[in-house]
Structure 1
Amino acid sequence: METRSDNKYRLRVKNLINTHVDSKDIENFMSLDLSASTTGCIFKVPDIPRSQNQNAYVPIAFSIGPWHYSNPNLRANDKLKTLYLRDLISKDRNPKATLMELSNSEMYILELSRKVQECYSSPVDQEYDGCDLLVDGCFIIEFLRKFQDKSRRDPDDPVFSYMLQFLYHDLMLLENQIPWFVLEDIFHRTCGNNEKPLIWYVSAFLKQIFPIAFVPTEGNLPSLQPKHILDLLRLWLVSPIEEEKGKNTVLQIDDIVTNGGWKPIPPASFLRKAGVKIKRKLMADSILQVTFRNGYLEIPPLEFRQGTEDVFQNLICLEQCLTKCPHGITSYVTLLGCLINTPMDFNLLCEAGIFDNWMNPEDVINFFNKAIYRGAYVKDYYYLELSEQVIEYCNRKWPRLRAIYRNEFTTPWAIISQVVAGFLFIFTLLQTLFTIMR
């Protein structure tokens, strides 16, 4: 049931919009085609991963969308969201359409609610309607603009004063998304002349959440067609290797059954002993572009800091739930889980420059060790061919001999000690022979 406070909240939002925006025709807005993005794309996290780490999927400060709307711990920031809506309206000099009629038009609210419902995998709480969706969308759009333009920020804005890390976390949750077409429409109706596209703003924000040594070029951004913000990050990471998918062998589940399973890549410490050299890959379009050539396993660098684990877990859940979605992120985490079996393995990857770790090493090791056992299902494993090439290389004798030489004769003192040990062995052997001959 809708409470009295909820009615006051909606009335306050509508009054706020009426105060700042002049009345205009909504015919163009009502003709908006929302059918392109009506397939289910926002999901409830499955029970198995949720039971093992619930905090990775629950918002800390901001409820976005319907599924955490009723959480009383998050309602306190509704006022902050309405303030951002006010700023969006008041700082927008030439709006293309009014937001007043968006909130007051029952026809639009019902249509928007119906279209948005189709994007969620479970029924949406009836208390969350198109007015609430409008507030959430305006809050995100204004935040993205303030994130890039400091002149839009108020000096005492709590978001940028002490809540930014919370918002980083909350905007990357699978259950805390709203459809991309809603954000895009609000953005277009409030954007200025020659303003960069919405996807540029979101990508600039993602660089701060998921820092990597390489980012998509501005020319490639428009080709991405995300379903929501988290999906844009997924596309950001997966798209480059999807282009190479036809060049490599991808393991399907039928192959697992037919061929009796697949052999995982050995841990990093084993690879080192077998002569494989692990190297930081500097030129890559995605962290997923792991390659093996001439005994070198090249892995793009990854900065692992607070929140990185939660982002990975939500990306994996998105891949698991989204229909016909490639399992690039799941494959990547599975690969690293195979490489990292002990603290020694993790240290080897850090020494090679693969990990820039800001976390407790044990937490990182624990994540990769357990990630593939949290109910994730690898429908198509991207690194089958790479794993087979590495295993075949490890089985050769010559790389092993070179590895032994490299490990045992790395310094002059190591060489001297081995030579002395050899002389002692020969001397002992000769002494034994002379003793027997006597």
Structure 2
Amino acid sequence: MENGTQSNTRDHISVPIVDGGIGLEALENTMRAKLCPASPSWDAKCCIFRVPQVLKRHKREAYEPDFVSIGPFHHGGKQFQHMENVKQWYLNNLLSRRTNVTLKNLIDCVFQLEKSAREFYAEPLDHLSQNDLVEMMILDGCFVIELFRKYPSDAEHVDGNDPIFRMDCMFQYLCHDLLLLENQVPWFVLQHLYNLTLDPEPDKYSPSLTILMLTAFTSQKPLNHNCYSYLGNLIAFEQCYHHHSHEITSYAFLMNKLVASSKDMEILCEKRIIDNWLSAEDGANYFSKLCNDTVLNKFYYDELCAQVKMHYQIKWYR
């Protein structure tokens, strides 16, 4: 402003204009190269998942292995190195005992299964070469099979120096790890390895692989921290696998309704309905934690709950 008069002059900012032709064309090409022509969803065969973080955050240790890595998701962890040595020892003992099968037989078998096995995992395994994945599945698969062949620990071919069966607690710890959703190899790979390494003697009884596994896993277990892991991983599987119904999730929701307080837990334990190794309060919170952040598409106990409610409303039975 000069001499009491207002200036009509305005300040201007100069904005450089980038040459749109080359710059925008380069951006278009870059974006086009990133577009996905196919759905990023996993293969229809996929059934081995990483537990979603929304579920894992409530109790991470219930979903991750402590002692042994099986499959690619936790492969190579330093804390599992001792068990990697045990796997190598188990495989060597297996090949020494089964003179009808060679390491080359195992490699040839799993090599044919490798491509299909990749499709069972919910994320790409690009970090593992074909040879790496074949080696991992042979070591992990034969370890699992041999472990359950040796159970119970008085089995005829248990070595006195076996580091697993020399510790009373180790087999139970390994069972925890082997039931984790993230810690798996495809069942069909185990089945092929099992069939290939059967006892060659025709009169020697060999249970099926399913029976072998169930023998170890179906013993009655009380309500404890390991039980949370078993149910939690089954629920995580139901949450991830779109072909599966929600029976286990429904069970957790039912028990969460039934056990609303520590007093409820005490009554159920007194009546021997639940065998609880936790405190009454922790036992009461057990099922509510399992239900956190889960989605229930269909409650399988709707009819049962309706019948119980109707029964309760009849004064004669009160």
For the aligned pair, the TM-score class normalised by the smaller chain equals: 0.7 to 0.9
Q: Secondary structure at the match of 1:307?
A: helix
Distance 2:120 2:52 in 1: 17
Pair 1:116 & 2:117 matched: yes
**The one of 131, 134, 142 aligned to 2:135:** 131
Pair 1:349 & 2:268 matched: yes
Superposed CA offset, 1:215-247 (max 9, x none)? xxxxxxxxxxxxxxxxxxxxxxxxxxxxxxxxx
Give 2:186's aligned amino acid. P
Superposed CA offset, 1:355-392 (max 9, x none)? 1122333222211122222x211122110011111122
Give 2:70's aligned amino acid. I
What corresponds to 2:249 in structure 1? 330
What corresponds to 2:279 in structure 1? 360
Q: Is the 8 A contact 2:246 2:297 kept in 1?
A: yes
What corresponds to 2:212 in structure 1? 201
CA 1:77–1:55 in structure 2 vs 1: closer, same or farther (change >3 Å)? same
Indicate the percent of aligned positions where both proteins have the same amino acid.
35
Q: CA deviation at 1:188?
A: 0.5
Q: TM-score, normalised by structure 2?
A: 0.78
Give 2:270's aligned amino acid. E
CA 1:205–1:109 in structure 2 vs 1: closer, same or farther (change >3 Å)? closer
> Where do residues 85-164 of structure 1 align in structure 2 (5 Å cutoff)?
85-95=91-101, 98-103=102-107, 111-124=112-125, 125-126=127-128, 128-148=132-152, 150-162=155-167, 163-164=170-171
What corresponds to 1:254 in structure 2? none
Q: Is the 8 A contact 1:87 1:142 kept in 2?
A: no
Q: CA deviation at 1:394?
A: 2.2
- Looking at secondary structure, tell me which structure has more helix per residue: 1
Distance 2:99 2:115 in 1: 31
Extract unaligned runs of 5+ from structure 2: 1-42
Distance 1:70 1:93 in 2: 30
What corresponds to 2:174 in structure 1? 167
Q: Secondary structure at the match of 2:143?
A: helix
Q: CA deviation at 1:123?
A: 1.3
Q: CA deviation at 1:351?
A: 1.5
**The one of 60, 64, 68 aligned to 2:66:** 60
Pair 1:71 & 2:77 matched: yes
Distance 2:283 2:71 in 1: 30
- Looking at secondary structure, tell me which structure has more strand per residue: 1
Q: CA deviation at 1:305?
A: 3.2
Distance 1:201 1:109 in 2: 21
Backbone CA RMSD of aligned residues: 2.0
Distance 1:38 1:84 in 2: 34
What corresponds to 2:90 in structure 1? 84
CA 1:359–1:156 in structure 2 vs 1: closer, same or farther (change >3 Å)? farther
> Where do residues 242-391 of structure 1 align in structure 2 (5 Å cutoff)?
303-373=222-292, 375-391=293-309
Pair 1:48 & 2:54 matched: yes
Distance 1:138 1:110 in 2: 15
Q: Is the 8 A contact 2:110 2:189 kept in 1?
A: no
Distance 1:336 1:159 in 2: 35
Distance 1:172 1:161 in 2: 22
**The one of 190, 210, 229 aligned to 1:183:** 190
Distance 2:122 2:159 in 1: 38
Distance 1:123 1:350 in 2: 46
Worse overlay, 353-362 or 48-57: 353-362
Distance 2:161 2:190 in 1: 26
Q: TM-score, normalised by structure 1?
A: 0.58
Give 1:147's aligned amino acid. Y
What corresponds to 2:27 in structure 1? none
Extract unaligned runs of 5+ from structure 1: 1-36, 213-302, 401-438
Q: Is the 8 A contact 1:69 1:75 kept in 2?
A: no
**The one of 296, 313, 316 aligned to 1:395:** 313
Distance 2:244 2:44 in 1: 16
Q: CA deviation at 1:109?
A: 6.0
CA 1:168–1:61 in structure 2 vs 1: closer, same or farther (change >3 Å)? same
- Equivalenced residue count is 266
Q: Secondary structure at the match of 2:250?
A: helix
Q: Is the 8 A contact 1:38 1:115 kept in 2?
A: no
Distance 1:91 1:361 in 2: 49
Distance 2:103 2:123 in 1: 28
**Structure 1 residue ranges (4+ consecutive) displaced by more than 6 angstroms after TM superposition:** none
